[in-house]
Amino acid sequence: MQLTLTIPALLFPAVSLTMLAYNARYLAIAALIRQLHKQFEETQASPLKRQIESLRKRLNIIKNMQATAIASFLFAAVSMFMIYVEMNVWANVIFGISLIFLMVSLVLSLIEVQLSTRALGIQLKNMEK
């Protein structure tokens, strides 16, 4: 397959939208952490400790999601440069690395969504009691 400038360029809007979604998740979790921190200082409740630990784990996953998406974006740009300077073998290798980083980012996103859903399920069970 011949790699042209348009193929890596197709990743730019996809990765940009992914980064916006990741940033929105980060901001939502940051707001929740601030809220829980305030509640924890007032009550010192044990369930809040578990929620805060879960949020710390999710925050770390989101950080890694963002880092791998940025790496994907960067490698896509480098592969476009390699195409431009007609280093096609390197362009293919670097574009492949870009795709791998994007896939890792998406897998991390899936893991984070599952953790988020599990945490919401626990909250719903507590509300049913």
pLDDT digits (tens, 9 = 90+) for 9-49: 888 788 888 888 998 988 888 888 888 777 777 777 666 77
Per-residue pLDDT reduced to its tens digit, 76-105: 999 999 999 999 999 999 999 999 999 999
Q: Report the helix count and the strand count for the chain, using DSSP H and E.
A: 4, 0
Count the domains in the chain. Answer: 1
Tell whether 106 is covered by a domain. yes
pLDDT band for position 110 (cuts 50, 70, 90): very high
Q: What's the number of CA atoms in the CB half-sphere (13 Å) around residue 126?
A: 9
Domain of 117 in residue numbering reads as: 6-124
Indicate whether 84 belongs to any domain: yes
For residue 43, is it within any domain? yes
Q: Look at residue 117 and tell me if it is in a domain.
A: yes
Residue 66 contacts residue 26 (beta carbons within 8 Å): yes
Give the separation between CA 51 and CA 36, rounded to whole angstroms: 8
The answer to the question of residue 72 being in a domain is yes
pTM of the model: 0.81
Return all residues near 15 (Cβ < 8 A) that are at least 6 apart.
Answer: 69, 72, 73, 76, 102
Give a yes or no: residue 129 inside a domain.
no
In a domain, 1, yes or no: no
